[in-house]
Amino acid sequence: MPPLDLTHIRQHHTVAELIALGKARRQATSFEQLGVFTPVKRNAGDYLRHVREMLVPELLPLRRERMSASAFAFFRGSVELMDYDLDYQASTEIPAVVCGDAHLGNFGFYASPERRLVFDLNDFDEAGVHPWEWDLRRLLVSIFLAARDSNFKPKKVEKLVQAASASYRDALQRMFDQTTLDRFYRDNEVQAVLNFGGAPEDTADLIAGLVKKAQKRNSEQVVRKFTVTNSRGERQFKENAPRSVHVDRQTTHDLKVGIQDYLLNVRTDVALLLSQYEVTDIIRHSVGVGSFGSLCYLVLLTSTDGSHLVLQIKEALPTRQVGSRSRPALTAAMELTEGQRIVSSQRILQATSDAFLGYFQVGDKSFYVRQFRDMKESIDIPTLDWGQFQAYANTCAMILAKAHAQSPTAAMIRGYVGHSTKFDEAMAKWAAAYVTQVDNDYQDFLEG
């Protein structure tokens, strides 16, 4: 089986036929059924432990600390629990290439190869082919959780969750007002996103500030922040144990060998560019919440002209659908082609991707590569006022729909969701019920 199996989403029907097939799916799985959360018997601790066993032991205390900050932080770091539960919920059974972890914190800004700032999904560790509604469910649950952290009124939040679902429906329908090729060439440049979503003025002002901040983030800024000059006049990374530590000689050798393999699957122009650089330092540097604890490295490359480039190399673990009825238990042996899965999914789901995106394998471990912090910026969700939070949630739902529209089965999704607010009410009902499940799991985690 290939790293990303697209067999089940290839279609030979017309768009009109696919829309009709999607509508017909409502007979098998109604909106009402889709809105019922079915509790699943499981021991959350067992599934969290399966994942911990694949992580760096010395980073586990910090990972636990990050996940303990709030129910939303726990939700971000425990995708394996929701993945397990989703496998037992009513489903449309319409597959698509999905992000797999489409919560509010996994959208952000980054530079396109043309140096334009875009807004899009930015995490694909859990990506693959699954029922499309898994992504929307996770997004809506995250809206409830993030809004609660900001003390927004519950009734207003419930309406917002329904509105976000409607934004997803509307964006998907608008994508099908375009041709297949136009859907592929979608524009997620920041101004285009604002125009597509009709963002209010205060949100546009917020975005303008973030754009200015992001534009200051380039390789040389990263070098100034993350490195120091040693006694030999050479740049090297700062240490901040246990989060940031230099690697041993064997790891350095293995990664250098891996980078040579990586150069075989990046664009030819990028490979030629990188031939002008040499690796001058490497550290293990952990980031985020969900992936914190997995192997992650920063590689400092120095050019023949003395300028620098920083690449991030992240371990590509298997998706965390552990022990469910349709997936095997999570094991390291499954990892061999995961980097390719993540890179392929990212290229499908993003409107435009990092030019340095690639992958390689070292021994039984798979890794993917991207440029570190190149004009990357994210929304600081707790700082948003109510109007900004509304706009952000709806924009994320819109972006998700544009990503799903890349799958040939997307017309079936459009047919299924239709124009009815009953769909939005059902999705909001399910998400609200699942928040209780998250709270229970979070409490067990704190007490464990």
The amino acid that residue 387 corresponds to is: G
Average pLDDT (233-255) is: 93
Beta pairing partners, 405: none
pLDDT score of 190: 85
The lowest-confidence range among 32-41, 117-126, 217-226, 265-274 is 217-226
- In this predicted model, which residue has the larger pLDDT, 1 or 13? 13
Q: Is the pLDDT of residue 422 over 70?
A: yes
- Whole-angstrom distance, CA of residue 388 vs CA of residue 161: 14
Q: Give the number of other CB atoms < 10 A from CB of residue 448.
A: 10
pLDDT score of 289: 72
pLDDT score of 377: 83
* 257 touches 362 (CB < 8 A): yes
Q: Is the pLDDT of residue 270 over 80?
A: yes
pLDDT band at 72 (very low <50, low <70, confident <90, very high): very high
Helices 133-149 and 421-447 meet at what angle, rounded to 10?
Answer: 60
pLDDT score of 337: 83
The lowest-confidence range among 41-50, 98-107, 172-181 is 41-50
pLDDT score of 373: 82
What 8-state DSSP symbol labels residue 328? Answer: P
Phi, psi of 358, rounded to the nearest 5 degrees: -170, -175
| Coil vs helix vs strand at 148 | helix
Q: Is 15 exposed, middle or buried (0-12, 13-18, 19+ CB in 10 A)?
A: middle
Helices 421-447 and 154-175 meet at what angle, rounded to 10?
Answer: 120
Q: Is the pLDDT of residue 331 over 50?
A: no
pLDDT score of 223: 86
Measured between its terminal Cα atoms, the distance across the chain in Å is 38
Q: pLDDT tens, 112-135?
A: 888 888 999 999 999 999 999 999
Average pLDDT value for the chain: 91
- Whole-angstrom distance, CA of residue 137 vs CA of residue 114: 33
Average pLDDT (63-76) is: 96
pLDDT score of 335: 57
Q: Is the pLDDT of residue 334 over 80?
A: no
The lowest-confidence range among 63-67, 104-108, 138-142, 290-294 is 290-294
Average pLDDT (335-351) is: 91
Q: Is the pLDDT of residue 410 over 90?
A: yes
